[in-house]
Amino acid sequence: MFNSSLNQLSTLLATKRVSSIELTRDFLRNIKSLNKEYNAFITVNEEMSLDQARIADAMIASGEGSPLTGIPIAHKDIFCTKGWLTTCGSKMLSNFISPYDAHVIELFNKAGTVNIGKTNMDEFAMGSSNETSFYGPVKNPWDILSVPGGSSGGSACAVAARMAPAATGTDTGGSIRQPASLCGVSGIKPTYGLVSRYGMIAFASSLDQGGPIAKSAADLALMLNVMVGFDARDSTSLQHENEDYTRELKGPIEGLRIGLPKEYFAEGLSDDVSRAVDAAVAEYSKLGAKIIEVSLPNTKLSIPVYYVLAPAEASSNLSRFDGVRYGHRSEEYNNLDDMYLKSRTQGFGAEVKRRILIGTYVLSHGYYDAYYIKAQKLRRLIAQDFTGVFKQCDVIMGPTSPSVAFSLGERSNDPLQMYLSDAYTAAASLAGLPGMSIPVGFGKKNRPVGLHIIGNYFAEAKILSIAHQFQQVTDWHTKMPDIKKF
């Protein structure tokens, strides 16, 4: 059961061989026995999950079910979920019971899925290791001495350790793809604007994008079918015609042109990651793909540009946390200004403060053009690199992360090293392109390696198919960590 695909679970539910209540209880039991060790969930609420399971069973009984009805899904604690504690991994929101649902949550509720719990994450999604969470770090189930990646580390861990069949995440500079890679699971960040940001607590609004993490590309396609949709409440939501993301899964690899950017295989890439990625590319070649070397010359600018734009937008977004309408308010203060100062100083952790300060600096008087506007111009150059390359190839591949999971604490005092974890993922975020990561082997200390697949705008169905074809002839995605027996 725990290794079943979403399709298999869907069939079991539809043919009434298992009820949603039973399935939900099984996964809740897993969470209970494993979460102490992994810390993947911030909130679990059995009663509310089982209420949803009852509704799902009724939907199935009356023939109103859809493919994911009755299936437990874990939600990153960045999605506002009505009646649930929604913390965004921060002390600032450690008392926030959301009075409304994010659009993504509304869509999953409408599909009749069961919220199995809210997953741990880097505070306000700022981090690449899940170590900045107010609720403590998540452990990587493949090696509990290593990080799960971040910021959607709890979601990736929950799927890898079979505490949930699938999960939601968000990706601003790599926060779905990098943890998926480090935890040996699959994840996709769609084209910017496809998944509504309404009720998704804002980090960097021009980059934030929701997406799923699951065990396979086929499962991701089913999740995207639920998550994607226009929403007028998100000012950058795209009015894109609804697609069935499973429609191309069977498509052939024969004749596919895969571009390997030489910049993604240059200095900084670990040998173990390089070997696993090369082997995956060789497998594609065997399936009939044509491998082409391409160049994305502005790749090295993506981290500098990202670390101007994201903190700038974050400093603006996080100014709403002032202790007035919701969230943490200091117990003691002398006046209004002091209340803001103390509430924010107590409510935010070190990394969030650091990014607010960087953001405030680059937006401050006299620096706006030199930093923010300059970064936005370079962002266009980075996007143009991709436009050029997609004339030569259909899809881009490379490593998702320069190394396998690093050890807990290894980079937590060195923000610069931590930021370089996003070296390959940030560019696709800046360009607004869809990107995904699938497991393709193991590196040092048996820690997983992910293959990064970047598609052109709205090419989600195509890259899912490319990943699915690989998963038909290999079994990396079926490997699971050696976790305690249930």
Active-site residue list: 76, 151, 175
Establish if 295 lies at the interface with another protein (CB under 8 A): no
Nearer to another protein, 251 or 415 (CB): 415
Q: Work out how close the CB of 424 gets to another protein at its nearest, in angstroms, rounded to a whole number.
A: 16
Residue closer to another protein (CB basis): 253 or 303: 303
At 237 the three-state DSSP class reads: coil
Helix (H), strand (E) counts: the chain? 16, 11
Q: Would you count residue 290 as binding another protein (CB under 8 A)?
A: no
Contact between 266 and another protein by CB under 8 A: the answer reads: no
**One-character DSSP codes across 354-386:** HHHHHHHHHHSTTTHIIIIIHHHHHHHHHHHHH
Q: Contacting another protein (CB under 8 A), which of 241, 337, 475, 482?
A: 337
Which residue has 């600018």 as its token pair?
301
Which residues, including other chains, have CB under 8 Å from residue 394's CB and lie 6 or more apart? 256, 257, 258, 456, 462
416 binds another protein (CB under 8 A): yes
| Stretch binding another protein (CB under 8 A), from 139-147, 159-167, 307-315, 394-402 | 307-315
Note whether 393 and 463 are within 8 A (CB).
no
251 is an interface residue for another protein by CB under 8 A: no
Task: Note whether 326 binds another protein by CB under 8 A.
Answer: yes
Task: Describe the strand order of the beta sheet including 435-442 as a list of residue ranges.
Answer: 41-43, 114-119, 72-76, 166-171, 209-214, 186-189, 435-442, 448-454, 395-399, 257-261, 290-294
Residue 206 engages another protein in binding (rule: CB under 8 A): yes
Residue 267: count of CB within 10 angstroms of its CB: 6
**Residue 41 vs 307, nearer CB to another protein:** 307
For residue 409, what are the contacts with CB-CB under 8 A and spacing of at least 6? 131
The answer to whether the peptide bond before residue 151 is cis (omega within 30 degrees of 0) is yes
Cβ pair 227, 212 in contact under 8 A: yes
With CA atoms as reference, report the closest residue to 128 among 371, 356, 402, 319.
402
Contact status: 371 vs another protein (CB under 8 A) = yes
Minimum CB separation of residue 206 from another protein in Å reads 5
When binding is defined by CB under 8 A, the residue of 15, 17, 47, 235 that contacts another protein is 235
Q: In three state form, how does the secondary structure of 185-201 look?
A: CEEEECCCCCCCCCCEC
Per the document, the length of the chain is 486
- For another protein, which residue of 54, 91, 275, 353 counts as binding (CB under 8 A)? 353
Within 55-84, which residues bind another protein (CB under 8 A)? none
DSSP track, 386-443: HHHHTTT-SEEEEESSSSSPPBTTSSTT-HHHHHGGGTTTHHHHHHT--EEEEEEEE-
Phi, psi of 441 (to 5 degrees): 145, -165
Pick from 192, 245, 284, 476 the residue near another protein by CB under 8 A.
192
From candidates 11, 243, 333, 402, binder to another protein by CB under 8 A: 333
Which tokens go with 43? 């909130």
Does 360 interact with another protein (rule: CB under 8 A)? yes
Q: Please tell me whether residue 376 binds another protein under the rule CB under 8 A.
A: yes
Distance of CA 83 to the CA centre of its chain: 23
**Which 98-137 residues touch another protein, going by CB under 8 A?**
99
Kindly write out the interface string for residues 382-411 of this chain, putting x where it contacts another protein by CB under 8 A and - elsewhere: -x----------------------------
The residue within the footprint of another protein, chosen from 305, 312, 423, 427 (CB under 8 A), is 305
Taking the complex as a whole, how short is the minimal distance between the CB of residue 308 and another protein, in angstroms?
Answer: 6
Is residue 304 a contact point for another protein (CB under 8 A)? yes
Both tokens of residue 20? 């949603």
Please identify which residue in 61, 266, 282, 370 interacts with another protein, judged by CB under 8 A.
Answer: 370
Sign of the CA dihedral with 75 first, then 77, 81, and 84 last? positive
Is there binding between residue 340 and another protein (CB under 8 A)?
Answer: yes
Q: From 42-50, 147-155, 330-338, 464-472, give the range in contact with another protein by CB under 8 A.
A: 330-338
Do residues 280 and 312 lie in contact, with contact meaning Cβ atoms separated by under 8 Å?
Answer: no
Closer residue to another protein in complex, CB, 402/415: 415
CB of 181 to another protein, least distance (A): 23
314 binds another protein (CB under 8 A): no
Interactions with another protein, residue window 135-164 (CB under 8 A):
none
Cα 37 from chain centroid (whole Å): 22
- Closest approach, Cβ 353 to another protein, in A, equals 6
SS3 458: coil
Q: Binders of another protein: how many residues, by CB under 8 A?
A: 70
Residues engaged in binding another protein (CB under 8 A): 95-97, 99, 191-193, 206, 232, 235-236, 238, 298, 300-301, 303-305, 307-308, 315, 319, 322-327, 329, 333-342, 344-345, 348, 353-354, 356-358, 360-361, 364, 367, 370-371, 373-381, 383, 415-416, 419, 431-433, 457
